[in-house]
Chain A
Amino acid sequence: MSDLFVSLTPANLLACLVGTVLGTIVGVLPGLGPAGAMALVLPVTIKLGPTAGLIMLAGIYYGAMYGGSTTSILVNVPGEAASVVTAIDGYRLARRGRAGAALAIAAIASFVAGTVSVVALQVAAPRVARLALAFGPAEYFAFALLGLVLLSNLSGESRPKSLAMVLVGVMLSTVGMDPLGGAVRFTFDVAGAQAGLSFVAVTAGLFGVAEVLAAAARPEPAPAVQGVRFRELYPSREELRRAVPPMLRGTVLGFLIGLVPGPAATIASFVSYGVERRVSRYRHELGTGAIEGVAGPEAANNAAAGGGMIPLLSLGLPFTPSTAVLLSGMLLMNVTPGPFLLRDHPQVFWGVIGSFYVGNVMLLLLNLPLVGLFARVATIPGPWLMPGILILCALAAYADNNNVFDVWVMVGAGVAGYAMRRLGLSPAPLVLGLVLGPLLERSLLQALTIGRGDVRELWASGPAAVMLAAAALALVAPLVGALGRRVRAPA
């Protein structure tokens, strides 16, 4: 536990500051998103060592949640999907001259939710890790499968499309050596592919390059930003009083939703807004510029970011693209997340958790006085910004393995990602399929080997049986529902 203070060393404080500032900027800019930005800075973070490197990556992750609200409120342009809901009431508050109060409430809600979720993370993660020590291959297979099926149900797009993207990601993960026997597969004699497709290259392509190509296809004028003076950043006593209940409800909801696979921060903010529409005393004002519409969703999306760290740190299972990049960063730094992380790398484990506390304070201190500056980042015209993102993508892809093949993978992933956008396919399930594919394959084959070929080994234990049953239910229920609707449809 004393390792929590590792986050207070000058190097780690600096890493945290850089991460949170970068995260805020990424949150402000529409498009790139935290996962893409984290992939781009991976070469830098690897040079910093595991603790400082992961602190910087984590700072980008939760900093983006903070930053996303700024442009939502000031210009009605959400930098992040998780901040879309904030724009509904936040922008109306800004138009009524309460931009400063809305920004302050957003920052305070983010701070409160972020801090509470870190306390919960600090309490829960070691306990979940201890429970996970009893997990064998069958349980890991069942959990990873359940996560991927739930993800396809919750990602907000067509279920078969989302599931197909998960499977394409799993297919891409089979390129290179098979995880048990070492046989080389699907490389077509390309030497650079033997180690598998670089996760960083694929992520940089799908999120970074695809965003640049999309921006090139639809050039838009930079939005005008409303100026906010520091002295305007004081919510009234009434606004503060009204913000507390939705803030607390959003925190609890967000943390719990963060534990579930899927775009947790986005879902949490929408669910929080929906709950406020039902239970808030001022629900009739929602949609017209109510402070509850800012406090609840902002608390929820920040708490979800903390909740999402539990499966990653305790089980080694990432359920969002951002935590998938964190996992990739950990593996590149020879740190294996999961039940043994606390035993093998206590400084990394507690250092990252400690940095969440520090980062939340930094974000509060940075975001309020510098809100105008961050908002102006959103006004940088695309032609000045996007070429830099392109070369950062190429650099991240190359530096992963010092291999030009990975740059080609990035180009391919970028073109595929752009095509997917045009076809309405989300890259997030693909990325999670890619990162969870090897675990899925390894644990399935190990379980079958342990069971001497008896498939019942997969559901022999209680937890595995429950998780597989839940996965089957989550998979079959929508399919049956869709077929039922089709049969009932009038001829």
Chain B
Amino acid sequence: MATPDRGIALGLGAVALAYLAVARRYPLDTLSAPGPGAFPLATGAALFLVAAWLFVTARPAPGAAAPTPMAVGTWSRVPVLLALALGLHAAALPWLGFIPASFLLVLAAARLMGLSGLWRPLALAAGLALVMRLVFVSGLGVPLP
């Protein structure tokens, strides 16, 4: 029976193999003068071994109680939409500027997280944008796009 830990182990093994495949591009040189590929090779191999360890130890013993399900909570689309909003915010930074992009991000995040109506999200977004502008740009001189 597959367990969540076995799935994690397979994923980690795949990450280790992909990392090792890229690490092969860098020279190993010699032990007395190790090249840039030596440490990544050791790290990738170690992760692969640990993934194998996790895979082996995650296998439920015959007759043992079924593993506890992950505490994953119920599925919600809000985190996905919020992550998308963050991605759009990052994409918009260079041409829209930090403060306007952040205004839109706060507006979207507040609405997604359940702040009802239009005026409250707008007031929150405007207030935070103003505070950011005053504290970080005017006050501390942080250079923002």
- A contact residues vs B (CB 8 Å cutoff): 43-44, 47, 158, 160-161, 163-164, 167-168, 170-171, 174, 178, 181, 183, 185-186, 209, 212-219, 382-384, 386-388, 390-391, 394-395, 398-399, 402, 404, 407-408, 410-411, 414-415, 418, 422-425, 440-441, 444-445, 448-449, 451-455, 479, 482-483, 486, 489-491
Contact = CB atoms under 8 A, between A and B. Distances in A.
A453 B32 contact: yes
24 contacts: A43-B140, A44-B136, A171-B40, A183-B35, A186-B22, A209-B86, A213-B82, A216-B78, A216-B79, A384-B115, A386-B109, A387-B128, A388-B106, A390-B86, A394-B105, A395-B102, A395-B136, A404-B145, A414-B86, A422-B72, A440-B39, A448-B31, A451-B32, A453-B33
Contacts of A404: 90, 93-94, 145
A382 B64 CA distance: 41
Nearest to A216: B78
Main secondary structure of the interface of B (DSSP, over half): helix
Given A384-B115, A394-B89, A486-B61, A168 B4 contact: no
A3 B8 CA distance: 51
A216 B46 CA distance: 36
Contacts of B53: 160, 479
Contact of A167 (B43, B64, B143): B43
Dominant secondary structure at the A interface:
helix
B63 to A, nearest CB: 6
Contacts of B46: 167
A185 B83 CA distance: 28
A383 B115 contact: yes
Interface string B102-126: 1001100110111100000000110
Given A390-B86, A489-B61, 6 more contacts: A171-B15, A217-B73, A218-B76, A395-B102, A395-B144, A444-B39
B94 to A, nearest CB: 6
Contacts of A47: 140-142
A399 B31 contact: no
Interface residues of B, number: 71
Given A171-B40, A452-B32, A423 B128 contact: no
B83 A414 contact: yes
Contacts of B64: 489
A418 B15 CA distance: 18
Given A160-B57, A407-B90, A174 B43 contact: yes
B66 interface: no
B113 A382 contact: yes
A422 B4 CA distance: 11
Contact of A171 (B43, B112, B115, B141): B43
B123 to A, nearest CB: 10
Contacts of A174: 39-40, 43
Contact of B106 (A170, A390, A452): A390
Contact of A213 (B79, B125, B136): B79
A418 B79 contact: yes
Contact of A391 (B12, B19, B106, B141): B106
B17 interface: no
A163 B50 contact: yes
A174 B102 CA distance: 31
A212 B82 contact: yes
B73 A408 contact: no
> Which of A209, A217, A402, A479: most chain B CB closer than 10 A?
A217
